[in-house]
Amino acid sequence: GDSVTQMEGPVTLSEEAFLTINCTYTATGYPSLFWYVQYPGEGLQLLLKATKADDKGSNKGFEATYRKETTSFHLEKGSVQVSDSAVYFCALAVTSGSRLTFGEGTQLTVNP
Amino acid sequence: ETGVTQTPRHLVMGMTNKKSLKCEQHLGHNAMYWYKQSAKKPLELMFVYSLEERVENNSVPSRFSPECPNSSHLFLHLHTLQPEDSALYLCASSPRDRASTGELFFGEGSRLTVL
C-alpha cells in the first residue's frame, strides 16, 4: 500500500539556519505530493504541493522538489525563523479521489 | 481562514456526557473527513463522507457517531467516551472529482478532553 516516511524529530535549529526535512514515499501509480504545516494549537494548513515528477512546490521560502527517481519530496528552507516552529507533515495522494496518506510529522523548533 | 470551520474549539466532558462536534465548509466541496490527532501518534482517519454518504469507517468505536446532513456540514456525536479519547479532532474537506489532486482543506480542530 501507499506510505510516507518522514525524518524523525524533533528538529531544533537556530534562527537563520538551513532546514531540510526528509520525506520518501511508496505509492502505486503517480501520486501528488504535499507538505502540510501545523502551528501550535491549530489545524493543518497546506504549505506546498507538487503534482508531477520534477515539479517544485514553493511557499513562504520553503521548497520541495518531486523526485521520482529517488521517490522523495524533501522540504528545504534556506533561513528559518522562530515563526517557522511547527509540526511538518509530508503526504501523498494518488489522483482520482483517493484519500491522503500522511507521514508521522516532524516537530521543528527554531530558537532565537 | 481555510473555509472550514469547526466548533467548539475546546470541549471538556465527563465519561457519561453526550456532546457533538460540528464542522462546516464553505468551499463547495463534496467530501468531508474526520481525523483524530493524539499526542505522539500519526493522524488517524476516522470517517469519510462523499456526497453525504459514508464511504469509509476505519474501525472506529461506536461511541463516535458521525452525521452528514448535507455536503456543507459534518457532525461527530460523542457519548460515553473514555479518557484515551482525549485528542484534537480535525475536520477536512475536498472536492471529489477528476480535477482533484487529493489536497485536503482542514479546520482548526476541536480539542477534546475527557475526564
Please report the residues numbered 19 through 58 in chain B whose beta carbons come closer than 8 angstroms to any beta carbon of chain A.
31, 33, 42-43, 45, 48, 50, 56
CA-based radius of gyration for chain B: 14
Mean pLDDT for B45-50 is 89
* Sign, Cα dihedral of A20, A21, A27, A31: negative
Mean pLDDT for B18-27 is 96
**Contact, A103 vs A89, CB < 8 A?**
yes
Query: By percentage, how much of chain A surpasses pLDDT 70?
Result: 96
CA B111/CA B34 separation, integer angstroms: 13
Q: Among partner residues A31, A94, A102, which is closest to B43 by beta-carbon distance?
A: A102
Residues A2-56 have pLDDT tens digits of 889 998 889 999 999 999 999 999 988 889 999 999 998 888 999 999 999 999 9
Q: What is the pLDDT of residue B8?
A: 97
Mean pLDDT for B26-51 is 88
Within 8 A of B4 by CB-CB distance, chain A residues are 43
* A13 at interface of B, judged by CB pairs closer than 8 A: no
